[in-house]
Structure 1
Amino acid sequence: MNLSCFLILFIGCFGFSQNENYKITNLKINNQFPHFGLMYANDNKIVFTSYLLTKKGKAKKVAGQPILTIYEGKLAENGQIINPKPIIIDTKYGISHITSATMTPDGKQLYLTTNYNNKDKPKGNFKATNFHIKVGEYKAGLGFTNFKVLPFCKPKFSYGHPCLSKDGKTLYFIANIRGGKETTKGGSDIFKVDVLENGKYAQPKNLGGKVNSYSREMFPFISADDTLYFASNRPNGYGGFDIYKSKMNADGTFLKAEKMPKPINSGKDDFSFIIDAQNKTGYFSSKRNNGKGDDDVYYFLKQ
């Protein structure tokens, strides 16, 4: 057998073995609208982002654009997300466009990604399309309220995709911070910041070159065993955004990121990967072929 034939056979066998490792299911909640921004919440629930719908099931719009909001659904034993409902947010804060969110382990605080509005826009010149991260607290009868922009969010940069460690003491997010030691390498990098007491935060730290690239990193998720999962459109992927993972060392640094295998990844955009505490089941979003519409949510089970 010549070398080229051997390589083709080896690659084919290796790809097949990877495919056998995961069983994936397109969920019933999927339709023609996008579903992404997945995060676990307490009480066996999950948070995700999609369009706010009218009673007739059509996307509500503002200035001709669909309104993105966050939903909370319950996890069924078969992996389906059932009874999804919009998360109640105090209307006086004027938050009408949310791209991603995460809750604290106790469910009492909500971090979300949104744009500045007339109620909290900075003074002077700033880029209106930049995103930032707000945090609010839950109050019975109001939902989540008392939102404040995180103090390290600077208006000239964009911040998003918050994710908390299992103890709630470290916040991971993406940003395009420029300048200084913690400058962003690509279009967006993954950062982390220590969550202190009394609504205070340490200085954000770039996770470095073992995780970040000169492309875009998106949708971080830190698992119970301190493995970071994220999406990136760096070169040598399967196509579009691919899902990568990087194990945290004891000193808080990370190992070199590795690309996840098929069928977790595909030739299209794959992102918003989350996995349960047992590293057995989880979810991700994908725009892969044969989906139901836009970004679909897939459930996976490790075989």
Structure 2
Amino acid sequence: MLKKFCYIIFLSGLLSFSQAEDYNVKNLKVNTENTHFGLMPFGNDKIIFTSYFIDSRGKVKRYEGNPVLTVFEGDLSDDGNIINISPIQIAGKKEIAGITSATISPDGKFIYITTQYTRKNRPKGDFKDTNFHIKVGEFKASLGWTNFKVLPFCKPRYSYAHPTLSHDGKTLYFTANIRGGKETTKGGSDIFKVDVLGENKYGEPKNLGSKVNSYSREMFPFMSADNILYFASNRPSGFGGFDIYKSHMNVSGVFEKAEKLPKPFNSKQDDFSLIMNPDNTSGYFVSKRIGGKGDDDIYYFLKI
């Protein structure tokens, strides 16, 4: 699933990953033959992730022949499993073609989603229909997530995806293929950041630079509470496919040279979408490694 998704859209921190044997990794019960990815923490003990939308007949919903992706939420159990799973509640679903990734603000008031334009809301202009953009919606108790607006800096001729917020909610990180100027994308997609100013106002997107980005694809960023950026890249010299990397942001806000995580976090297959729990001893990531249940599976890891 990840390679198809890429086609259309494009360890020097406080936590040490030096000893692979110091971690237990397990495949979760939530996994099936369907894809599961796009992990993001929500509140103190919840998580959201992306998978196929299942209709009332138990079938994967399709739009123009393609399976529809949406976001699910679940509670985290003491043993690391994801339980009490349900689709997030979205008002006005007809205006959203599908959601490939999402993140919720620390205060729980806003959600940022990656989606595409539909025939009804497609803006004028010449651009690829496969381009993605990021929308922000707000939570209303009686409706769920509603009042979605395209972020003002998203230009239809580029693709924007994989939003994630800093721990204080003041900085939005995302991937894009913006071209031109000093903030141009180096490879197929780079990681950018933008200041969140409130009232749907934002600063100018800034490329995180060559210590994070490469001439390959960077995807699925996540910023931990201790200012470590985790992301996936298919740059050369990896284990295989997409690998998980990390880059520590120093006190000046500058990111240090990214480092590849060792096994068991990376394998010969695609590994991505790592998130770290606040305790810095456990978390989750997604992998298509041998021995999984389906396409992309969610794994839980615990330092021992």
- TM-score under structure 1 normalisation? 0.93
Q: Does 1:149 align with 2:150?
A: yes
Q: Classify 1:149/1:93 alpha carbon distance in 2 versus 1 (closer, same or farther; 3 Å).
A: farther
Distance 2:226 2:158 in 1: 31
Alignment correspondent of 1:5: none
Contact 1:47–1:71 at 8 Å: present in 2 too? yes
Give the CA deviation at 1:19.
2.7
Distance 1:254 1:193 in 2: 15
2:81 aligned partner, one-letter code:
Q
Distance 2:57 2:262 in 1: 39
Indicate the SS of the match to 1:195. Answer: strand
Distance 1:42 1:212 in 2: 29
1:238 aligned partner, one-letter code:
F
Could you list the structure 1 runs, at least 4 aligned residues long, displaced by more than 6 angstroms after superposition: none
For 1:1-303, what aligned pairs fall within 5 Å after superposition? Answer: 18-91=19-92, 94-303=95-304
Distance 2:27 2:125 in 1: 46
Give the CA deviation at 1:133.
0.2
Q: Which deviates the most, 87-96 or 62-71?
A: 87-96
Distance 2:127 2:170 in 1: 30
1:120 aligned partner, one-letter code:
N
Distance 2:233 2:123 in 1: 30
2:236 aligned partner, one-letter code:
P
1:104 aligned partner, one-letter code:
S
Indicate the SS of the match to 2:19. Answer: helix
Deviations 1:169-202 (A, max 9, x none): 0000000000001000000000000000222000
Indicate the SS of the match to 1:98. Answer: coil
Deviations 1:178-234 (A, max 9, x none): 000100000000000000022200000000000000000000000000000000000
Indicate the SS of the match to 1:20. Answer: helix
1:122 aligned partner, one-letter code:
P
Distance 2:131 2:21 in 1: 41
- TM-score under structure 2 normalisation? 0.92
Contact 2:37–2:50 at 8 Å: present in 1 too? yes
2:255 aligned partner, one-letter code:
F
Q: Give the number of equivalent residue pairs.
A: 287
What percentage of aligned pairs have identical amino acids?
A: 67
* Unaligned ranges ≥5, structure 2: 1-17
Q: Which deviates the most, 192-201 or 216-225?
A: 192-201
* Unaligned ranges ≥5, structure 1: 1-16
Distance 1:58 1:153 in 2: 33
1:226 aligned partner, one-letter code:
N
Q: Which deviates the most, 213-222 or 119-128?
A: 119-128
Contact 1:22–1:264 at 8 Å: present in 2 too? no
Give the CA RMSD over aligned residues: 1.1
Indicate the SS of the match to 1:285. Answer: strand
Contact 2:97–2:117 at 8 Å: present in 1 too? no
Give the CA deviation at 1:110.
0.5
Distance 1:218 1:295 in 2: 15
Contact 1:93–1:147 at 8 Å: present in 2 too? no
Deviations 1:69-98 (A, max 9, x none): 000000000000001100011125521311
Distance 1:212 1:122 in 2: 30
Give the CA deviation at 1:297.
0.1
Deviations 1:229-268 (A, max 9, x none): 0000000000000000000011111000000010010000
Contact 1:93–1:119 at 8 Å: present in 2 too? no
Contact 2:95–2:121 at 8 Å: present in 1 too? no
